Amino acid sequence: MKLQCVVISAFICATIAAPTPNGMTFDAVQTRDLARLRARQSVNDESDDLINGPCRDVTFIFARGSLEPGNMGIIVGPEVCTALQASLGADAVACQGVGPPYNATLGDNFLPQNTSPDDIGAATTLFDLANTMCPSTKVVAGGYSQGAAVMDGSIQALPPAIMSQIAGVVLFGYTRNQQDDGRIPNYPVSQTKVYCNSGDIICDGILLPLPAHFTYGSNATSAADFLVSML
Ligand SMILES: *[C@@H]1O[C@H](CO)[C@@H](O)[C@H](O)[C@H]1NC(C)=O
Ligand SMILES: *[C@@H]1O[C@H](CO)[C@@H](O)[C@H](O)[C@H]1NC(C)=O
């Protein structure tokens, strides 16, 4: 229960720098508990396969949610990467998280695009890189929470040649689900799958993370299956 509260605090409690009973701030508690969660799940929250090379058949570019660690986060990104590699072969899939300048801050959720132009630019840089460095790789993409807004803002504005390299996109707990009618403008609906679980009101345009917002790890295999079906 405490862990769940702390993960939820990624959105809420972190903004309240009140001391906890043992004198730690919520920030400190959150950092500590996220580290514990990471250790326990041995989730790899950092993937730089595209940047490090070599090019692989498939490149999965993922943007994490607010305050998640690493560049892949821990809630669903690494799980989709693992499921893609299980399905296609570890050497066939490069996983790449959207890193700096996307820093997944809370405040950026409240900007007009539910993330910042710099955050969106960080994803666009990676789509450009995949296109120039690995022109024959098939790109698939994903985003969770603010990361879904990052993917939305980036993909809808890509030049056609780069957009057409993206075979499929999965979005989890999509913060712009309502504004953008459950899709990414300009990008084919048939190549997009949005996971919005029952009770996740963030998908209804209310930026309040309830427990359902943290359940998308259970949809990782389904999401990977969808992306594989788009290749
Ligand atoms: C996040 O990155 C932006 C640049 O895109 C920078 O202005 C801002 O200070 C950074 N915020 C944090 C908390 O690191
Ligand atoms: C995500 O997984 C949960 C648990 O298996 C399931 O109930 C839910 O329907 C799935 N969500 C979507 C959008 O498929």
Higher-pLDDT residue of 125 and 21 is: 125
Instruction: Let me know if 200 is a catalytic residue.
Output: yes
Q: Give the whole-angstrom CA distance, residue 107 versus residue 17.
A: 15
For residue 27, pLDDT beyond 70: no
Instruction: Let me know if 128 is a catalytic residue.
Output: no
Closest ligand 1 atom, CA of 119? 5
For residue 5, pLDDT beyond 50: no
pLDDT interval class at 113 (50, 70, 90)? very high
* Active-site choice (9, 47, 145, 154): 145
Beta bridge partners of 58: 93, 138
Residues 65-86: tens digit of each pLDDT: 999 999 999 999 999 999 999 9
Contact (CB, 8 A) for 31 and 7:
no
pLDDT of the residue at 43: 82
Query: What predicted TM-score, i.e. pTM, was given to this entire model?
Result: 0.85
Tell me which residues have their CB closer than 6 angstroms to ligand 2: 195, 197, 218-219, 222
Domains (range + CATH), the chain? 45-230 (3.40.50.1820)
